[in-house]
Structure 1
Amino acid sequence: MSSEPPVFTIGAEGSFPWQVFHERHPELVRRLLDTHPYGPAQRSAVTELLESTLNGVVPPPPEHWADRPLWLDWDRGHFATPWSQAPFLWAESYFYRCLLDAVGYFTTGVDLFGPFKTAELQDPALDNDFAWITETTFDTALTAALYGNKADLGFQLIAGRADTTTHPPLLADDSAHLHRFLLDHAPLRVTFVVDNAGRELLSDLILAGHLLDTGMANEVVLHVKPYPYFTSDATFTDVGDCLRRLRKLPGATGDRLHHAAAEGTLSIRTHPFHAAPLSFADMPADLAAEFATGLTIFKGDLNYRRLVGDRDWDPTASFQDAVAYLPAPIAALRTLKSEVVLGLTPTTFQDLEPNWRTSGHHALIQTANLPTRR
C-alpha cells in the first residue's frame, strides 16, 4: 500500500493504548500476584517490569532468553527507548514476553494465566450456554465462534464480564459469501489462527467440527500461541483442555473431534511468529506457506490488528487492499476491542457510541481473496 496511516503508540494520555498500559496491566499484575504463590524475586521482577512500562525505557532481551535472536530480529529500534514511544502492538507483545520471564515461566512451565482459564472452563453455566450444540448449523457455529471472542479474559480486566448473549447488528457481514465459498469449493483445508482459550476456543472447535462433519473441510489445522500470551490466548495445552471439556457437553462433537485428531484430519500447530510484535505482512515464508492452501480463518482482535497493521485506519479503507499480501482466501471473525477497523461503509458507524471501536459490543465477519460474489 502506497500510504499507510501512522501506527498506534501508547504515549498519548487517555488514549486506548495508554489505558491498556496504565489500567489493564496494573490490574493484571495485581491479580497474578494475588493468585500465584510467587516468591520475593518474582514479585519484585513483576512490579519492576510494570513500573518500567509506565515510566522507563524498553530493556533489551537478556542473554539468557532462548528466543533472544528472534526478538533482536523483531526489534524496530525500540530497545533502550521510552516505552511511551513504542508502537502499541509491539510494546504490548514485548510486555507479555517480559512478564513470562519475570515469573519464571520458562523454568517452571506453569501457565501464569492457567487459573483464569481453568475457572472459565469449570463455569457451571457452560452446559446451558452450549445447549444449542445438538442442533448445530453453519450459522449457529459461525455466530458462536464470532461472539465467543467477547469472552476475552484480558478485556474483562477493565471492561467487566462480557455479555455473549445480546448482540447489535454486525458492522460487516460476509457470512453468506463465506458459506457459499465453502460449499462451492468443498472439501477444503481450513486453517484457524485461534485467539482465546475457554469459551471462544470451545466455539471454534464446534465450528471446526461442523466443517468436518458436513464435508466442507477435509482437514482442519489449529494454529495456537507457542506460550501463554495476552492473558487468555490459546496454547497446545488449552486445546487439549477444551477438547476434554467439549466431550462433556451435549452431543458428540467432542468425541468426533477426538477421533479426527487420531485420524490426522484435525491437527494443532504453532510457530514462533505467532508471538511476534509484528504484522502478518512480515511473517516468514514457512508460515505464509501454511496459509497458502484452502481457507484461513483469523480469529479475534489481536489477529485482526496483525492482519491489517495496528494503525489509525480510516474505517472506510479497503479491508481487501490491506490484506492483499496474503496468499489465499481468508476470513476474519472479530469482536472490536481495539481501535483498528477497516472495510466499513460510512453509514454503518455514524450513529454508534463514541467508544464503539473498543467497547466490545460490536463485531464483524470479513472475507478477502475469495472469488467474486455470484
Structure 2
Amino acid sequence: MAADQTGDVVPPSLSAKAVGSFAYLTVRDRLPTILTKVIDTIHRNKNKFFEEYGEEGIQAEKQAISLLSKLRNELQTDKPILVLTDGLEDVDTWNRYLERQQGQHDDQEVVSWFKSPWLYVECYMYRRIREALWLNPPISGYDVFNEGKTQSFFESQQATIALCTYFEGFNKKMENIPENLLQEYFYKLLQVSLWGNKCDLSISAGVDNSQKISPIESLAALKLFILVDDSDALWSTLVTARLQTQSGKRSSCRVDFVLDNAGFELVTDLVLADFLLSSGLAQEIRFHGKSFPWFVSDVTAEDFHWTIRQTMAANNRSMSQRGVQWQQYMKEGVWSYHDHPFWTQPHEFCDMEADAPDLYATLQTADLLLFKGDLNYRKLTGDRDWDHTVGFETALRGFAPAPLCSLRTLKANIQVGLQPGRGNKLSSQEPDWMTCGKYAVIQFYSPNSDKQD
C-alpha cells in the first residue's frame, strides 16, 4: 500500500478486480436470482392481494412485477444506473450519491451495473425493489422477504430452545456468579451471537440457512475459525463501564447493537443483550435496524417485534420466559428499537458524520457499539481492497463515534487486521476463505484506548 509525502498510509481505492470482475459475477449470478425470487413471491401472492384489495391489488401486483422485470434486465445487460423517482424521503440522498459516482467516471462514461462498486449496486438493487412496491399501492408495504425470514425463525426453533434453556440455567443466580464464570458466560454468548451471523439469506440467495443444532455445543469446534478475537478488550471495556457506573462516574452504560439478520441471528443478539442487562454490564440497550426490507433477511421493526411476540408465544417454558422478559424490557424502555435512512443507503460509515450527523451524534452517546454481520463490516471498512495486515483502525478511516466491535462471519472479499502471512496461507489452503462463511472475527477498536492495530 502506498504512502504519501507525509508518510501516512494512503487508503487504496477499490481495485479494478473488485469493481469490475467481482461485481460482474455478483450481478450476473446472485442478484438476478434474488430478483427472480422476489418476482415469484409477489406473483404467488396475487390471490392474497385480490382477497385484501380486489382488482386494485391484482393491478398493483402486475405493475410491480413489470418494474422488477425491467430492473432485472437492466442489471443483467449493464444498463445505466437510473435516478430514483418515488418521492420517498431518501430520494435526494440516493440521487446525489449517483452524481458522486458519475463524478468518479470519465465524462463520456455513464455509471452502469458492471462498472460500479459492488457495494453500491447491491444496495441500489434493494432500494429499487422498494421503489417498485412503493409506486404500486395498495401493496406498497408488502415485505417480499417475509416468508424466508419467518421460515428461518421457525426452522431454528430447536436451537433457540437450547439457547434459551442454557441462559435460564444461570440467569436466576446471576448475582452470585463469580467474575471469572461471568466472563466465561459472556464469551460463550458473544460467540453464539457471532456464529448466528452464518444465517444470512442474502448470501444464500434466499435458500434455507437456518440453525438446527445447539449453538452452545458447537462453540468449541468453531473457535478455531475465529481469525481475530478481541473478546478480552471487549470484556475490559464493559467491566470498566460497569465500575464507573457503580462509582457514580457515569449514570449508566449503554450498548448499541447495529443489527444484521432476522431469524435465529436476531434471537442470539437478544439473548446477548439480555445477558448484558441481567449481569449489570449494561443498563440500556438500543437496537438499530432497517427502515424497510433489505438484503433479504435484515431486521426491520416488524421483524424485531414479531420475533419477541413469537418467542413469548412459544410452547417451551424457557423460550417463552425470555420473550416475556424481552417484552418487559421494551415496556420499561431499557430496550428500544431505532431505524434511520442511513442504514439503507450505500454510504461507507466514514461518511456518516458528514452525511447523517444526527445518527453519528446518537452513536457517540453509546458506551459500546456492536456491529453485526458482513454488510456492516464492508461499510465499516469501505469495501476496499485492503491488504490483510492493514489495521482495523486504519480501515475505519476516522469512523470512531464510540468504542466499537464487529461480530462478523466472512462472506465477502475483504478482511483486515490479520497477522502477517495469515491471509496468504489461508488463500493457498482455501481460496474461498473470505466468502464461504466458515471463518469469523470479533474485531474491536476504541478511540479512547492506546491499542495499536
Please say whether Structure 1 and Structure 2 have the same fold, judged by a TM-score greater than 0.5.
Answer: yes
In the alignment, is residue 206 of structure 1 matched against residue 271 of structure 2?
yes
Pair 159,41 (structure 1): closer, same or farther in 2 beyond 3 Å: closer
Stretch moving more, 75-84 or 41-50:
75-84
The equivalent position to 1:93 in structure 2, one of 112, 117, 123, is 123
Query: Of the two, which has the highest radius of gyration?
Result: 2
Q: Whole-Å Cα distance in 1 between the matches of residues 412 and 136 of structure 2?
A: 29
Equivalent pair of 1:336/1:360 in contact (CA under 8 Å): yes
Shift of 1:243: 1.4
Could you tell me whether the CA contact under 8 Å between 2:123 and 2:346 is conserved in 1?
Answer: yes
Distance 1:105 1:7, change over 3 A: farther
TM-score by length of 2: 0.76
Secondary structure at 1:297's aligned position in 2? Answer: strand
Amino acid across the alignment from 1:51 = N
* 1:315–1:343 Cα contact (<8 Å) kept: yes
- 1:5 counterpart = 2:12: yes
Partner of 2:345: 276
| Residue number in structure 1 paired with 2:436 | 359
Q: Which residue of 1 aligns with 2:27?
A: 21
Alignment partner, residue 262 of structure 1: 331
Query: Which SS does the other structure have where 1:367 is aligned?
Result: strand
Is the counterpart of residue 125 in structure 1 residue 130 in structure 2?
no
What is the deviation of 1:129? Answer: 4.9
- Deviation for aligned residue 1:372: 4.3
Please tell me the residue identity of whatever aligns with 2:63.
A
Q: Is the 8 A contact 2:206 2:296 kept in 1?
A: no
Distance 2:169 2:232 in 1: 19
Greater mean alpha carbon deviation, residues 191-200 or residues 21-30: 21-30
* Change in 2 beyond 3 A, CA 1:133/1:239: same
Q: Could you say if the C-alpha distance between residues 77 and 127 of structure 1 is closer, same or farther in structure 2, counting changes exceeding 3 Å?
A: closer
Asked if the contact 1:156–1:162 (Cα under 8 Å) also holds between the matched residues in 2, the reply is no
- What's the CA shift string for 1:274-298, capped at 9, x where partnerless? 1110111111211111111211111
**1:262 Cα shift?**
0.9
Q: Out of 58, 65, 73, which is 2:81 matched to?
A: 58
Cα contact 2:148–2:206 (8 A) shared by 1 = no
SS at match of 2:287: strand
Q: Separation in 2 of the partners of 1:33 and 1:132?
A: 41
1:106-145 counterparts in 2 under 5 A?
Answer: 107=137, 108=139, 109-123=141-155, 124-130=157-163, 131-135=165-169, 137-145=185-193
Q: In the aligned structure 2, how far is the partner of 1:216 from the partner of 1:64?
A: 43
Q: Is the 8 A contact 1:288 1:326 kept in 2?
A: no
Is 1:70 aligned with 2:93? yes
Which structure has more relative contact order (CA 8 Å, sep 6+)? It is 1
Q: Which amino acid in 2 is paired with 1:204?
A: D
Instruction: State the shift of 1:346 in Å.
Output: 2.2
Q: TM-score scaled to structure 1, two decimals?
A: 0.91
Amino acid at match of 2:293: P
Distance 1:259 1:8, change over 3 A: farther
- Distance, in Å, in 2 between the alignment partners of 1:260 and 1:159 is 33
RMSD: 2.4
Counterpart amino acid of 1:92?
E
User: Which of 208, 218, 240 is matched with 2:283 structurally?
Assistant: 218
Q: Aligned residue for 2:249?
A: none
**Alpha-carbon deviation of 1:105?**
7.4
Report the AA paired with residue 436 of structure 2: S
* Counterpart secondary structure, 1:355: coil
How far residue 161 of structure 1 moved from its aligned partner, in angstroms, is 3.5
Asked if the contact 1:23–1:158 (Cα under 8 Å) also holds between the matched residues in 2, the reply is no
Report % sequence identity: 32
Q: Confirm or deny that 1:47 pairs with 2:81.
A: no
Bigger mean CA offset, 315-324 vs 335-344: 315-324
Task: Give the Cα separation in 2 of the matches to 1:65 and 1:286.
Answer: 19
Are the counterparts in 1 of residues 256 and 285 from structure 2 also a CA contact under 8 Å?
yes
Alignment check: 8 A CA contact 2:86 2:135 kept: no
**Residue type at the aligned position of 2:273:** A
Residues of 2 paired with 1:192 and 1:289: CA distance? 16
Structure 1 residues 63 and 42: CA distance shift in structure 2, 3 A: closer
Matched with 1:154 is 202
Separation (CA, whole Å) in 2 of partners of 1:135 and 1:357: 36
Pick aligned residue for 1:286 from 341, 358, 362: 358
In 2, the alpha carbon distance for the partners of 1:183 and 1:246 equals 30
Letter in 1 for 2:373: G
Match of residue 103 from structure 1: 133
In 2 relative to 1, CA 140–245 (structure 1 residues): closer, same or farther, beyond 3 Å? Answer: farther
Pick closer, same or farther for the CA change 1:12–1:129 going to 2, 3 Å: farther
C-alpha displacement at 1:62, in angstroms? 1.5
Question: How many Å separate the matches in 2 of 1:63 and 1:158?
Answer: 26
Worse-matched range after superposition: 340-349 or 230-239: 340-349
* Corresponding residue for residue 294 of structure 2: 229
Residue identity in the other structure for 1:326:
A
Letter in 1 for 2:204: Q
In 1, Cα distance between equivalents of 2:133 and 2:388 = 39
**Cα drift, residue 311 of structure 1:** 0.5
State the alpha-carbon separation in 1 of the partners of residues 450 and 19 from structure 2.
42
Structure 1 unmatched runs, 5+: none
What's the offset of the Cα at 1:320? 1.7
Letter in 2 for 1:57: P
8 Å Cα contact 1:311/1:340 also seen in 2:
yes
